[in-house]
Structure 1
């Protein structure tokens, strides 16, 4: 179990020009944003530069772009914030940001083409090398939900097999030295847990890198099926934390709730602060929790075109930098959890729900893990009774006081791997 007091931070979305700010950063605005985040009492930010800005050509990594990433992280440090950095963006808020050397006339596969994989490894090494000496450096994440490029529903997927995903992860993670200077992390969206046939496997998420990152969004069918303020929606992040632990070989492996938000295509604005508070309290019931990084810091301003509507409302701050009720709620619950953990960390779980899986840790059916599925339902029903269940693979020596199976019928889930725009408009 992981008994360090959880970290609380935010995914930094620059105010004003969104991530397009990386084209020409306005340092006064960046400083204002980061000072505001620190004033909420948060302790870290996740920084997400754009991949084509960093590496516009396969053999060109721009020194100025690396310097800009470093400067953002230095300003974060001056504000009292630690910072992690992603490398392959990749995909953000329904927009793809692939460099031109991967698309169109030069189309190739980022997961399987040797030259493309080598170029990505070079970029991981360069980004890590540019910032790893900073005192507040938390580590590097390979990229934001890059598994969405590997399979449906992406309109132009770059197919890979699980074995090819393994090779890709091993190559890119090795590019950031395991020298203790920050965590080496990769992060997937929830198809890795819920979509049968998806090439990124739960074992990839839970066994590669230094921590497991989970991204929790209730517009994946949870809110639509159960209701946005239902126990199933409130506990979705907690469930993902515990689900990820079932596939880990290290019982002490921390889990980073790297993205969680309050989407107003499911919630009302009045419900969002309470959703935040209850979601964080539920997640903090897991003794593996490394930290919570909310999505996101600032609303996207209305003047920017073609965003799904909810992107204009996800921030802890509005587009002008004013703290919203959601921001106040996150700051308050962060303080509440810190105080509670200092007095008594979350305790280990003694009861578990069994996941049918083979000897390699591959679930028999990932749809049964999804909202509405048999495993999900069994876990939620136990949680509603106050049992605090874990999850365990059927082939694992569980060590729990009791382990019970899901319902005998193999109920499929309601999760649907649809596109971002479809989910966001649900």
Structure 2
């Protein structure tokens, strides 16, 4: 068996948290044309990209069908586009890579990709309009069914941070409340499961779901729906700006989010997928990117519930493409010419070490309590956001070398819950800070 095939065979044993062997991969950003490559799909270029990812020792990619390209009309899902997605999946298999597929793109790197049948003259609410919901459901079902017989297909992610469409920050929001968001997520996940039973189907939100008071997509949704909890760790959210690029708050942010997800899980041991994490400049200076990558992934790897880390992203964005935010261009492990960057070399070495010698999860016998209010809506979830009291207390412990857990205040006296998570002592943020 080749090394690539060995990686893929091991990777399919999802989730990885129970085995103590998290999976490591990358979010695939094509080198030629970025995600617009679906318009001029070139199987040879895709193969070269995927071979360069596999050469780093990674075992999976997360890929992004662009919604209006695949479903330009509510009742038209283009067969040729689906065939190209299957070609990509089969090529990945030949490279020893498993594939997780996002639907409903949705939003990518500062650009919205929505089909004409939900905007302007056909304006429909993405989350509540029956025709819009039915169209999205049909799309996810079609992709999942087409991929269901591919051995290297891991599962669907409902969409890439589609929660950002629901809040006031968006210039044209699709309003929904927490109950409506749960109904929508349940229906989308059910479509994926019906079409591809038993696969690793999840949904993904950015960190507003965890940190922003009043946001309709909640920590309870993230931690309670789907096969795992997906977290996206981006230190340009104010963490690096507030604390600095080499502060413990920045280097432990991904670890913190994994532990925050564990604190919200309905049952201990639910797998957590660090689905996006990257080193954005200038918040992380280019000369520090390799150190940041090693520290961030190494810290996250101490978490007992971590099942996978998927770096954002595989390749840089070609600077011939205009209008991206500056930080989006240089997030890759490889250049647009498929040359490995320092962060790519460092991450490849770390992944090899973690695979060869999987570390035992760090005992987290001490937990910081946080009080988000009603668990159903988390009206005070910002207490756990960067700058919040629980976040600052947890970071202070991390800076002192203490690997701490987090626990919701309503569970802080639940002996069975604490015992199941190995927690022996609970402290308040005020106790830590004083």
Are the equivalent residues in 2 in contact too, given 1:11–1:259 (CA < 8 A)? yes
Q: Taking structure 1 as reference, are residues 407 and 363 closer, same or farther at Cα in structure 2, changes over 3 Å only?
A: farther
CA displacement, residues 213-261 of structure 1 (integer Å, 9 cap, x when unaligned): 0000000000000001111000000000000111111211000000000
CA shift, 1:51, in A, is 0.3
Residue equivalent to 1:234: 251
The DSSP-based 3-state class of the residue aligned with 1:228 is coil
CA shift, 1:362, in A, is 4.1
- How many residues align structurally? 408
Q: Does structure 1 residue 46 correspond to structure 2 residue 62? A: yes
Separation (CA, whole Å) in 1 of partners of 2:384 and 2:410:
16
The DSSP-based 3-state class of the residue aligned with 1:88 is coil
Residue equivalent to 1:370: 385
CA shift, 1:3, in A, is 3.6
CA displacement, residues 108-138 of structure 1 (integer Å, 9 cap, x when unaligned): 1000111111111111111101112111111
Matches within 5 A, 1:84-233: 84-177=100-193, 180-233=197-250
TM-score (ref. length: structure 1): 0.93
Matches within 5 A, 1:239-388: 239-341=256-358, 344-358=359-373, 360-388=375-403
Tell me which of 380, 391, 395 is aligned to 2:406.
391
CA displacement, residues 241-284 of structure 1 (integer Å, 9 cap, x when unaligned): 00011111121100000000000121221100000000000000
The structure carrying a bigger helix percent of its residues is 2
Structure 2 unmatched runs, 5+: 1-16
CA displacement, residues 168-219 of structure 1 (integer Å, 9 cap, x when unaligned): 0110000012665420100000000111110000000000000000000000
The DSSP-based 3-state class of the residue aligned with 1:407 is helix
Are the equivalent residues in 2 in contact too, given 1:186–1:209 (CA < 8 A)? yes
Residue equivalent to 1:405: 428
Residue equivalent to 1:8: 24
CA shift, 1:339, in A, is 2.5
Are the equivalent residues in 2 in contact too, given 1:298–1:317 (CA < 8 A)? yes
CA displacement, residues 21-44 of structure 1 (integer Å, 9 cap, x when unaligned): 011211110000001111111000
Separation (CA, whole Å) in 1 of partners of 2:299 and 2:337:
31
CA displacement, residues 357-389 of structure 1 (integer Å, 9 cap, x when unaligned): 445454351221111110101111122222211
Aligned CA RMSD, in angstroms, stands at 1.6
The DSSP-based 3-state class of the residue aligned with 2:25 is strand
Q: Taking structure 1 as reference, are residues 380 and 76 closer, same or farther at Cα in structure 2, changes over 3 Å only?
A: same
Residue equivalent to 1:413: none
Moved more, 330-339 or 28-37: 330-339
Structure 1 unmatched runs, 5+: 411-426
Residue equivalent to 2:84: 68
